[in-house]
Amino acid sequence: MGELIDKAKGLANEAAGNVKQAVGNARNDPAQVAEGRAQERKGEAQNLKGSVKGALGDKV
């Protein structure tokens, strides 16, 4: 079950990060673009964590 939760959170963070990057680019705001990239990377890490949990059977 933890696998699905981590993957869902990861996808949500990736999507939010992409939106922040797009808004930052539109506003010419490098700080917001950087924040969006960081959130996207966090989402990718959460997604990977979910995949690892799935491979190991939620024993992590």
Instruction: Write out the two tokens for 34.
Output: 């950087």
Using one digit for the tens of pLDDT, what is the confidence trace for 17-41?
999 999 999 999 999 999 999 999 9
What pLDDT is stored for residue 58 in this prediction? 53
Q: How confident is the model at residue 11 (pLDDT cuts 50, 70, 90)?
A: very high
Q: pTM for the full model?
A: 0.86
Where in the chain does DSSP place strands (E)?
none
Name the percent of the chain lying above pLDDT 90.
Answer: 82
d(CA 32, CA 21): 6
Residue 34 makes CB contacts below 8 A (sequence gap 6+) with 24
Specify whether the backbone of 28 is left (phi greater than 0), alpha (psi in -120 to 50) or beta: left
